[in-house]
Amino acid sequence: MAMGNGGSATNAISRRALLAGAAAAGAAVMLPGAAFAQEALNDILFAPTRGNWNDQFDTRSTGQRTVATNQPVFSPETVADMQQAEGTYRQIVMNGGWPMVPEDAKLQLGVQSQSVSILRQRLIVSGDLPASAGTAPAFDTFVDAAVKRFQARHGLPGDGVVSTYTFKALNVLANIRLGQLQTNVVRLQSMSGYLGDRFVMVNIPAASIEAVEGGRVVQRHTAIVGKIDRQTPILNSKITNLQLNPYWHAPASIVKKDIIPLMQKDPTYLKRNDIHIFAKDGTEIPPESINWNSDDAVQYLFRQEPGKNNAMSSVKINFPNPYAVYMHDTPQQSLFSELMRFESSGCVRVQNVRDLIVWLARDTGGWDRQAIERVIASRQNQNVDLAEPVPVYFTYITAWATDPTVVQFRDDIYHRDGAEQLAMGDLKATAYAGGEQVDDIPF
């Protein structure tokens, strides 16, 4: 049961005594040279600005605040929470930061190691583990829950196992995280005005989408966004149109970078994937008449028919923009389960996209879920113009807070935050390497 907010001075002293006892017990198992880290930990735990135990945590889920929330990233509340979190992280930096967790072995439930003691200290400083859990060398269920919370805050698989990517996130220096917070406070402040009663926000580094209504998130979607050398742009627009069972028209860049190499490898590729070639006057051009060892194909229009092979699958979401990008479905659903979802040529693929388009078309007469599903099942192309355009914002936010004690961080995938250590995914800009299916084309 959570502690009340009206505790007496005696209770506050008792809580401080409890924390002091936990810190003292942990000191006996620390590695040589860790005394400075413990001193910094004590300074943070007992800082006057930190408040009482019940100000920082509730006791659900072993004492930590839940990470899940329906507060939008674009919200005045988020800006206020970020500013408070910035103060907390500044205090952490002033007190020496957090200890670096040795990366010599994977840590998980059941492990006994001095590295677990350091891991506990690290998680206590960042608020993921209650100080009452102590700094013993055992990886128990308290540490497991704390690691899962930490992973959730950093967009990592919540398996409770500390391995490559979790180590990298744990060992980003506190002053670098503080700088990341400061950078993103500025970004969020620029978007803190009125954005619409309903809007869609695509957060590129998080590869995620929020559908927001009435100041709260009503849907979240996993996304696939642009790779490093084909980045998804920052933009503000309005969704005006849905295209069910869309045709796919390959831009010249994809014809050159992807389709030509695919045809060099397999001359049946276009036929197998229902892609037709047209001249400017509308005449269909046979694939065998084109020299695929040249760039001649770039002058033609490549159109893929609606159907199971279509690279956009069931729907395309249109909004005016100078970058010729859009949001869409994909037949390659397995990519949504990947940790690094930076695979497109700038467009945004949307998981569970039909839930999103039903919400978008809600006020457009005659287009409920049943009607949409019926048209999609027919495999016939159909345009749906929204009665009320819905604002859409493509943004680049690598840190945000939905509570002063729940700070989210993501990889700086496009290297825009100014610290190389923040691009932890270590993804390289790579050219397309070829493939067999149309959904291998990264658009």
- List of E strands, 192-274: 198-203, 208-213, 216-226, 235-244, 248-250
Per DSSP, 352 falls in state: T
pLDDT of 99-108, one tens digit each? 999 998 999 9
Higher pLDDT, residue 143 or 62: 143
**Looking at this protein, which amino acid is placed at residue 118?**
I
- In which element (H, E) is residue 268 found? none
> What's the gap between Cα 231 and its chain centre?
15
Residue with tokens 């879920």: 369
Bridging pattern class, strands 208-213 and 248-250: unpaired
pLDDT of residue 38: 52
pLDDT of 336-380, one tens digit each? 777 678 788 889 999 999 999 999 999 999 999 999 999 999 989
123, 135 Cβ separation under 8 angstroms:
no
Catalytic residues: 328, 347
pLDDT of 103-135, one tens digit each? 989 999 999 999 999 999 999 999 999 999 999
Q: Exposed (0-12), middle (13-18) or buried (19+): which is 337, by Cβ within 10 Å?
A: exposed
pLDDT of 384-435, one tens digit each? 999 999 999 999 999 999 888 899 999 999 999 987 778 765 444 333 333 3
**Looking at this protein, which amino acid is placed at residue 19?**
L
Q: Is the pLDDT of residue 282 over 50?
A: yes
Average pLDDT score over residue span 257-282: 91
What domains, with CATH codes, occur in the chain?
A: 21-181 (1.10.101.10), 195-440 (2.40.440.10)
**388 is written with which tokens?**
């009320």
Average pLDDT score over residue span 276-286: 92
42 pLDDT band (50/70/90 cuts)? low
Q: Is the pLDDT of residue 41 over 80?
A: no
First to last CA, the chain: 50
Predicted model pTM: 0.77
Average pLDDT score over residue span 305-312: 77
Q: Is the pLDDT of residue 23 over 80?
A: no
pLDDT of 208-261, one tens digit each? 999 999 999 999 999 999 999 889 999 999 999 999 998 888 888 889 988 999
pLDDT of residue 340: 73
CA distance 13 to 7: 10
pLDDT of residue 419: 79
CA distance 201 to 58: 30
CA distance 9 to 64: 23
Q: Exposed (0-12), middle (13-18) or buried (19+): which is 103, by Cβ within 10 Å?
A: middle
CA distance 24 to 26: 5
